[in-house]
């Protein structure tokens, strides 16, 4: 049984809490070393950068974890980029002030806060700490649902699929949605938490967040980032998925939009 009035606020991380891809952001360390650059690469350069050994089809789900582990190994072995340098790089990513205010206000409103992300705990905890909000999600082992990260004695970062860490197996749990990735099913995470909460709000931007939205009920809210892949997916003329969800849908541009909607309801 859910506790009376116990509330959960769940957030995607990349392009939701932050306006960047936390894993790709580390590419700038390699770009600068390979090109001998002294300036920080632009976001456009980061997004266009490709390692020579990356799979030709980057969206193949079975290659996702392996791809990033090969990238992190390359960073360490070729350029001696260790976890300390990676944390310093990630500290450049700023969480917008409206998002920080939203998180702190939700805590005041007695929401439990979690992150549900396809990034990894190392990147997420590094960014939360440098922005002064890590305490809002502690302990991260319980409140950050993301790919597990491990740093070996030499400082090399490697990650493991979330499904293995959380559920003990590497598969999607009877999830037929093509928007889910093999290593994480956000809907399964929401289902596992549902019995503890009277209501849930979920904020995201990517199609991978759609599965979480399908597990929300009438009393919940699904916050969908404006002009995002998730918004386009919901509003597709062919699918009309927007009308199939049971929860309320709110489109947002900043943390202020999310907070305004939540405060109107409380």
Q: Per DSSP, what are the bridge partners of residue 169?
A: none
| Statement: the pTM of the whole predicted model exceeds 0.85 | yes
Please indicate whether residue 45 or residue 144 has the higher confidence score (pLDDT).
144
Q: Per DSSP, what are the bridge partners of residue 157?
A: 151
44: left (phi over 0), alpha (psi -120 to 50) or beta: alpha
> Are the C-beta atoms of 95 and 15 separated by less than 8 Å?
no
Give tens-digit pLDDT for 202-224.
Answer: 999 999 999 999 999 999 999 99
Proportion of the chain above pLDDT 70, given as a percent: 85
Q: Residue 89: how many CA atoms within 13 Å on its side-chain side?
A: 24
Proportion of the chain above pLDDT 90, given as a percent: 61
CA dist., res. 133 & res. 121, Å (int): 14
Predicted local confidence at residue 54, as pLDDT: 56
Q: What is the mean pLDDT of residues 103-122?
A: 97
């Amino acid at each position: 049984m859910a506790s009376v009035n116990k509330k959960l606020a769940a957030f995607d991380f990349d392009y939701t809490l932050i306006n960047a891809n936390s894993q790709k952001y580390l590419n700038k360390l390699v770009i600068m070393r390979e090109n001998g650059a002294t300036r920080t690469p632009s976001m456009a350069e980061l997004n266009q950068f490709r390692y020579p050994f990356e799979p030709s089809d980057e969206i193949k789900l079975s290659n996702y974890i392996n791809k990033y582990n090969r990238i992190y190994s390359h960073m360490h072995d070729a350029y001696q980029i260790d976890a300390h340098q990676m944390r310093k790089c990630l500290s450049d990513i700023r969480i917008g002030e409206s998002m920080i205010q939203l998180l702190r206000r939700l805590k005041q409103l007695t929401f439990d806060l979690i992150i549900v992300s396809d990034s990894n705990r190392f990147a997420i905890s590094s960014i939360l700490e440098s922005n002064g909000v890590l305490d809002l999600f502690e302990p991260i082992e319980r409140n950050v649902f993301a790919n597990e990260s491990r740093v070996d004695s030499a400082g090399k970062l490697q990650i493991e699929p979330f499904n293995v860490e959380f559920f003990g197996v590497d598969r999607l749990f009877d999830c037929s949605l093509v928007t889910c990735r093999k290593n994480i099913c956000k809907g399964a995470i929401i289902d596992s938490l549902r019995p503890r909460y009277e209501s849930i709000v979920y904020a995201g931007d990517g199609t991978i967040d759609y599965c979480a939205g399908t597990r929300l009920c009438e009393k919940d809210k699904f916050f969908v980032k404006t002009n995002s892949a998730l918004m386009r997916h919901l509003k597709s003329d062919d699918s009309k998925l927007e009308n199939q969800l049971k929860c309320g849908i709110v489109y947002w541009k900043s943390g202020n939009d999310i907070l305004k909607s939540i405060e109107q309801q409380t």
